[in-house]
A and B are shown apart, each in its own frame.
Chain A
Amino acid sequence: MMIRGVKLSVICMVVALAAVALLYNVPAHSYLPQGSAAGGVFLPEIWGTVPVPIEISTNTTGAKLLGNTSFLTVIQNSLATWNQAPNFQSPLGSPTTSTTQVPDGSNLICFCTSGVVFNQNDGTLALTVTTTSGSIILGASIFFNPNPTGVCFATDNSVSSCANGTDFVQDLQTVATHEIGHFIGLDHSAVVRATMYPFAPALETQLSWDDVAGASLLYPKAAADVGTGAISGTISMTGAVFGAHVFANSNDSNNPFGAFPAIRKSPIGILSDTSGNYTITGLPPGDYDVFAEPLDGPVQDSNVNWALDFGLGSVETDFTTGFH
Chain B
Amino acid sequence: MKRRSVLFLALAVPALLFGTTVIPMGLEKLASVSTHIVEARAVRSVSQWNAEHTLILTYTNFEVRRTLKGETPHTILVRQLGGTVNGISQRVAGVRHWRPGDEAVLFLQPSSIPDGALVVTGLMQGNFLMRHTPQGQIFVSNGMPEVSEFHAATSEVTSYRGNKLRLEDLESRIQKAVRK
* Number of A-B pairs, beta carbon distance below 8 Å: 208
Most buried by B among A121, A138, A193, A196: A121
- Which one of A103, A178, A181 contacts B52 once the chains associate, using CB atoms below 8 Å? A103
- B54 CB–A CB distance under 8 Å: yes
Q: Are A129 and B145 in contact (CB under 8 A)?
A: no
Chain A interface residue count, CB cutoff 8 Å, equals 66
- Which one of B90, B124, B160 contacts A131 once the chains associate, using CB atoms below 8 Å? B90
- Which one of B14, B15, B50, B55 contacts A298 once the chains associate, using CB atoms below 8 Å? B14
Give the docked Cα–Cα distance between A151 and B17 (Å): 13
Q: Are B2 and A314 in contact (CB under 8 A)?
A: no
- A67 CB–B CB distance under 8 Å: no
- B170 CB–A CB distance under 8 Å: no
Q: Are A128 and B19 in contact (CB under 8 A)?
A: yes
- A245 CB–B CB distance under 8 Å: yes
Q: Are A129 and B82 in contact (CB under 8 A)?
A: yes
Binds B, one of A199-207, A225-233, A234-242: A199-207
Q: Are B15 and A200 in contact (CB under 8 A)?
A: yes
Interface of A (DSSP majority class):
loop
Category for how many chain B residues contact A = 35 or more
Are A168 and B153 CB-contacts (below 8 A) given A199-B17, A200-B18? Answer: yes
Give the docked Cα–Cα distance between A308 and B22 (Å): 22
- Which one of B8, B20, B33, B112 contacts A192 once the chains associate, using CB atoms below 8 Å? B8
- B60 CB–A CB distance under 8 Å: no
- B109 CB–A CB distance under 8 Å: yes
Q: Are A302 and B11 in contact (CB under 8 A)?
A: no
Closest to B3 in A: A321
Binds B, one of A22-30, A209-217, A252-260, A289-297: A289-297
Give the docked Cα–Cα distance between A188 and B79 (Å): 23
Which residues of chain A in 102-131 are interfacial with respect to chain B, using CB atoms and an 8 Å cutoff? Answer: 102-105, 115-131
Closest to A151 in B: B23
Give the docked Cα–Cα distance between A192 and B15 (Å): 12
Give the docked Cα–Cα distance between A101 and B92 (Å): 20
Return chain A residues, CB-CB under 8 Å to B18: 175, 178, 188, 196-200
Return chain B residues, CB-CB under 8 Å to A138: 88
Give the docked Cα–Cα distance between A254 and B77 (Å): 54
- B12 CB–A CB distance under 8 Å: yes
- B158 CB–A CB distance under 8 Å: no
Q: A117-B57, A296-B164 are in contact. List 6 more A-B contacts (CB 8 A).
A: A120-B109, A122-B109, A122-B125, A128-B20, A320-B2, A321-B1
A313 CB to nearest chain B CB (Å): 8
Q: Are B163 and A300 in contact (CB under 8 A)?
A: yes
- A285 CB–B CB distance under 8 Å: no
